[in-house]
Amino acid sequence: MYIQSKIASAVWKFALVAIATYGLLDGSGILAGKYLTGFPHMFTNVSNIFAWAYFLVAAIRLVTSKDDKPKVFAPQVKYTAMISLLVTALIAHFLLFDAMFQNGQLVWHLVAMHYVVPAMAVLDWLLFDEKGKMVVWGPFAWLSLAAVYLVVVMVGAGPLGMDLGGGTTAGQTRYPYTFLDPAISGVEGVAFFIVAMLVAFVALGYLIFAIDRILGRIAKRKQA
């Protein structure tokens, strides 16, 4: 079962957009009056910008739609945003958790972008999407944002020599993360991380796909 209220779904999506807006504005330094040029180089920020754009459009379409029970808007785009946010949250929690603190204090825009927005995106799917509708090839499509990001970073910071450093790596490397810099992590180390990240995206995607199928079957049984 899922909530079929357009109002509830739109309110939830606008709330997600509002929290993502705070995280992006504060994280970029705009709220403090100083824009951080390395901000768009980090995948956390890329995934949150992508999700912000998707959920804003989806919420507006809900409000303006005349259909009482509208279908999921651009489902492959939605699940790309959701999986990207979820992987971002997992990497941040297990690999980069110390970066969530500054001077012993939690940085709230990092909490918003690494925890709150990803959790709300997953809950949006659980609460408002009809289950059993995901396509079997979906998990491969959902890693598209991460794949494009990795290509841009590796080509931009590598052969093109662009400075794509950001966050804690600013001034240390041209890459947004030290584990993507061959000079620091080695070619094998970088290759291992990239492969592991893409495999994690697909594996997590199929876990979500399996849950979706199970919930869809349960819903059909209850309706029978």
Enumerate residues 6+ apart whose C-beta is below 8 A from 212. 131, 132, 133, 134
Please report, in angstroms and rounded to a whole number, the separation of the first and last CA atoms in the chain.
13
Q: Which residues of 56-70 are buried (b: 16+ CB within 10 A; e: fewer)?
A: bebbeebeeeeeeee
- Sign of the four-CA dihedral 181, 186, 192, 195: positive
* Lowest model confidence (mean pLDDT) among 101-115, 172-186, 205-219: 101-115
CA–CA dist 54, 60 (Å, integer): 10
Asked whether the predicted pLDDT for residue 94 surpasses 90, the reply is: no
For 155, half-sphere exposure in the C-beta direction (CA atoms, 13 angstrom radius) is 6
Rg over alpha carbons for the chain, rounded to the nearest Å, is 19
pLDDT at 224 (0 to 100): 66
Tens of pLDDT, residues 177-205:
888 999 999 999 999 999 998 998 999 99
pLDDT at 165 (0 to 100): 86
pLDDT at 201 (0 to 100): 92
Contact of 94 with 120, CB cutoff 8 Å: no
Asked whether the predicted pLDDT for residue 40 surpasses 80, the reply is: yes
CA–CA dist 153, 163 (Å, integer): 10
Q: Is the pTM of this model over 0.75?
A: yes
Mean predicted confidence (pLDDT) in 111-120: 96
pLDDT bin (cut points 50, 70, 90) of residue 99 is: confident
- Chain-centroid distance, C-alpha 69: 26
pLDDT at 212 (0 to 100): 97
Q: If you count them, how many residues does the chain have?
A: 224
- Per-domain residue ranges for the chain? 6-223
Asked whether the predicted pLDDT for residue 128 surpasses 70, the reply is: yes
pLDDT at 68 (0 to 100): 76
CA–CA dist 181, 141 (Å, integer): 26
- Chain-centroid distance, C-alpha 169: 21
